[in-house]
Amino acid sequence: MRDDIEDLVQEVLIAVHNARHTYRPDEPLTAWVHAIARYKLTDFLRARARKDAVTESIDDHDEIFASSDNEPGDARRDIGKLLDHLPDKQRMSILHVKLQGLSVAEAAHLTGLSESAVKVSVHRGLKALAARVRGIT
Amino acid sequence: MRTEELVDLLSTGVHSVPPHAAHRRFATSIALGTSGSLLLMYLVFRPRPDLAIAVLTALFWMKLAFPLSIASGAMLTVNRLSRPGAKSNFSTIRILVGGPVLLVWLWGISVVAIAEPQDRSDLIYGASWRSCPLNILLLSLPTFIAVFLAVRSLAPTRLRVAGAFSGLLATSLATVVYCLHCPEMSPAFWSMWYVLGMALGAVVGALVGPTLLRW
């Protein structure tokens, strides 16, 4: 939109420049410039209406794009592979807290670790994973 | 490009426009166009053989004044319409374009009304009613091109109206030229076929105006 406005302003400036021999000193300058601007605006809108009539922006139609079915599966497999590199303590903590969505207390109960140990394991595990992903890419 | 740069670019090396540049361009193209029409008339139709006698009659000059007045009205209008924001003074146009048409119509009707019934169709149709409007259109080719080029070099903002009056100007100039050939001397004839020829020109102009006059 801002680009359109700037384009139009420039278009009008060029038109005013090229049509300056049609200005008569005894008539109001504003009326003359206004008429040119109006003409160029109509021209611009007409051209755009014509373009809009035969084209349709693809951004308005997200629904035609299929979402890939194997993307979640791929992601799960990648995460599983990455988690395998971690020590058991960190892997189980991340699995419970981050993937299964359990609370820290529940995870502590299931793994037999203390709550703070679970928190630390999650933290260290994620850090290790991040370092690993950065190393891969 | 940034607008500031464009402004700089446009404002470097600008020379002033000579006074009346638009008028001069307009006058030149009308003179050229009319000369073209005259030449075309001379080559295709030939002037009427009794032209030397006809110019001595008042009727001939009235006939010539009819399209001439329309041409002047159309010229004033086209001149206005070619300048952005100029007010169209439609009262002048009405007098110069509508006035003569109305007068010739009244004149034609009265001539037909007082004529003997068997003479009436002759007054209206003459000998050349079939070809008259088309001849006018043919003769208007040079003026048409000249007028449209002139208007295009200016800046009309209402293209359809400007096209219609440009067409009217072109055909009314062609009609003036055609008067030197056309032997018909009945106002009823002029009121029908001359008017039809000029109206056709205006219609053609209105149709092609938006395409040809875009700038």
pLDDT at A31: 87
DSSP string, A59-77: GG-GGGSPPPTHHHHHHHH
Using CA coordinates, name the residue in chain B closest to A6.
Answer: B3
- Cα separation, A33 vs A38, whole angstroms: 8
> B85 and A34: CB-CB below 8 Å?
yes
Residue B95, token pair as written in the block:
């007098």
Per-residue pLDDT tens digits for B118-161: 877 777 787 788 888 888 889 999 999 999 999 998 889 889 99
H-type alpha helices, B90-131: 90-93, 99-114, 117-125
ipTM, 2 decimals?
Answer: 0.74
H-type alpha helices, A19-137: 29-54, 70-84, 88-94, 104-111, 115-136
Beta-carbon count within 10 A of A124 CB? 16
> B84 and A19: CB-CB below 8 Å?
yes
pLDDT at A137: 58
Per-residue pLDDT tens digits for B170-205: 999 999 999 888 888 888 888 888 899 999 999 999
Note which residues in 8-27 of chain A have CB less than 8 A from chain B.
9-10, 13-15, 17-24, 27
Assess A35–B contact: CB distance below 8 Å, yes or no. yes
Assess A33–B contact: CB distance below 8 Å, yes or no. yes
Owner of token pair 């299931």: A110
SS3 B95: helix
Using CA coordinates, name the residue in chain B closest to A13.
Answer: B7
B160 near B53, Cβ under 8 Å?
no
pLDDT confidence tier of residue A104, bands split at 50, 70 and 90: confident
Query: For residue B193, which of B169, B201, B35 has the smallest C-alpha distance?
Result: B201
Q: Cα distance from B86 to chain A (closest Cα, Å)?
A: 7
Using CA coordinates, name the residue in chain A closest to B151.
Answer: A22
Residues of B in CB contact (< 8 Å) with A are 1, 3, 6-7, 10, 14, 17, 21-22, 82-86, 154-155, 157, 214-215
> A19 and B22: CB-CB below 8 Å?
no
Q: Which residues of A touch B4 (CB under 8 A)?
A: none
Per-residue pLDDT tens digits for A75-86: 888 888 888 888
